[in-house]
Amino acid sequence: MHKMKAVAVHPGQPNSVHLAELTKPAIHQIPQGRGVLVKVLKVGVDATDREINDALYGNAPPGYNFLVLGHESFGIVEEVGPAVKHVKPGDYVTCTVRRPGGSIYDTIGRSDITSEETYYERGINLLHGFLTEYYVDDAEFVVKMPVGLKHLHVLAEPMSCAAKAVQQAYEAQRRLQVWDPKLAFVTGSGQIGLLTTLVLRLRGLEVYTFARGAAPNLKAEIVTGLGAHYVSTAEKSLKDVAAEVGRPDLVVEATGSSAVAFEAMEILGHNGVEVWTSITGGQKSVQVPSDNINLQWVLGNKLLLGSVNANRRHFEAGIADLALGEVTYPGVIEKILTNPVRGIENYRELIRLLVEDKHALKVYMEVANG
């Protein structure tokens, strides 16, 4: 039996990242001929991986004392079972993260909105991730990446979350019968903030994207490259900008700071929607002007929406937007992909960049060439 290297942590034990070993999987492990064997090429890491390595988040699969990391995957199909029609050997693919539990939503292909407390996510919770050499999965979860988007590889998964967050906002706003948003604020300019900026620009909104650092810097270059406005919170607050340009119809919060999530509630416009996307595994608490927010939200019929994860349809929508983004803002999106690390055995460098390098916008591992 073939062994493969994998990058893993011991959940609950801070900074326990290490090299683990897994047995190479085979397509027959997936029933009904629906298996897809994928050779892993690249895997991205994000704030969720950092929180998992800090032991704030994540659990090992039953029967294991380690969890293989990696939920942002890009690979090439090596072998498919007889029932698999939508991908073939040689195709580039990414893979969804969450697997179904037992709720009604899980049974209709919407595990991203499972109503069960327990959720199963590859590389995050109760299932091993993709930061290894090969994986197999059911065809349902393997999503084809067009060859022309190969250079955007690990962005497919974060893009799926951005696409879902915006789509959910539009779906929810059907409550208003007419909703024609013009102005959006995106708080945070990590990968989710930047990709959300792209999704909103492609829908014709004027977008203000907030970050801590003062321009010029890479984030500002990407935001302006997408035809949006970059605002450094060192220079202007959300309130300052709302006073200047008006209250936004839509806020997408993606800073990773729960304080900002509440701060943004003070500036949303009437009939607006605020979407929260940050995973905040810590224990921070802040004071908020609750009477004022409560009053404004009631008088303005405002909506607060949480959005997590993405199913294959959100991946497909996100990939379509990446393609449109490439022809609309050529060469901008790939600037997010700042820090490759080559070779699984260099996992310490991967985590060091993720944890320590404040300029590393996107850290990812090149597991194999292809």
Under the rule (CB under 6 A), what is the footprint of ligand BGC? 46, 48, 71, 97-98, 121, 124, 157, 161, 279, 308-309
Which residue, 69 or 231, is less far from ligand BGC as judged by CB? 69
Of the CA atoms within 13 Å of residue 219, those in its CB half-sphere come to 27
* Dihedrals phi, psi of 76, to nearest 5 degrees: -125, 135
Give the residue among 249, 204, 246, 207 at the shortest CA–CA distance from 224: 207
Identify the helix (H) or strand (E) that includes residue 314: helix 312-328
Q: Mind spelling out the 3-state secondary structure of 335-366?
A: HHCCEEEECHHHHHHHHHHHHHCCCCCCEEEE
Is beta strand 67-68 parallel, antiparallel or unpaired with respect to 3-9?
antiparallel
DSSP lists the bridge partners of residue 77 as 38
Pinpoint the alpha helices (H) of 99-237.
104-107, 156-172, 191-202, 218-225
- How near is the Cβ of 333 to ligand BGC at its closest, in Å? 17
- From the list Zn ion, ligand BGC, none, which binds 279 (C-beta under 5 to 8 Å, kind-based)? ligand BGC
Q: What is the DSSP letter of 112?
A: G
Give dist(CA 130, CA 209) in Å, integer: 31
Angstrom distance (rounded) from CA 356 to CA 53: 13
> Under a CB-based contact definition with an 8 Å cutoff, are residues 271 and 300 in contact?
yes
Q: Which residues bind Zn ion (CB under 5 A)?
A: 46, 48
Helical residues (DSSP H) of 54-148, grouped into ranges: 104-107
Q: What is the nearest approach in angstroms of ligand BGC to the Cβ of residue 111?
A: 10
Kindly state the smallest distance separating residue 353's Cβ from ligand BGC, in Å.
17
Total number of residues shown for the chain:
370
Which of ligand BGC, Zn ion, none does residue 308 bind to, with CB < 5 to 8 Å depending on kind? ligand BGC
134 — phi, psi (to 5°)? Answer: -140, 155
Structural tokens at position 273: 């929607």
77 makes contact, choosing from ligand BGC, Zn ion, none, with CB < 5 to 8 Å by partner type, with none
| Closer residue to Zn ion, CB minimum distance, 160 or 233 | 160
CB of 44 to Zn ion, least distance (A): 8
Q: By C-beta, is 82 or 282 nearer to ligand BGC?
A: 282
User: Residue 95 or 241: which CB sits closer to ligand BGC?
Assistant: 95
At its nearest, how many Å lie between ligand BGC and the CB of residue 132?
A: 18
Closest CA to 184 of 125, 82, 267: 267
Partner that binds at residue 97, options Zn ion, ligand BGC, none, CB closer than 5 to 8 Å by kind = ligand BGC
Least Å distance between CB 140 and ligand BGC? 16
Nearest to 9 by CA among 100, 96, 124: 124
Residue 263 binding result from Zn ion, ligand BGC, none, given CB thresholds of 5 to 8 Å by partner type: none
What is the number of alpha carbons within 13 Å of residue 364 lying toward its C-beta? 28
| Minimum distance, C-beta of residue 283 to ligand BGC, in the bound complex (Å) | 18
**Toward ligand BGC, which CB reaches closer, 51 or 133?**
51
- Which option in ligand BGC, Zn ion, none does residue 241 bind, with CB closer than 5 to 8 A by kind? none
Positive or negative, the CA dihedral 135, 309, 164, 166 is negative
Please state the closest distance from residue 308 (CB atom) to ligand BGC, in A: 5
Q: Closest separation between CB of residue 8 and ligand BGC, Å?
A: 17
31 cis-preceded (ω within 30 degrees of 0)? no
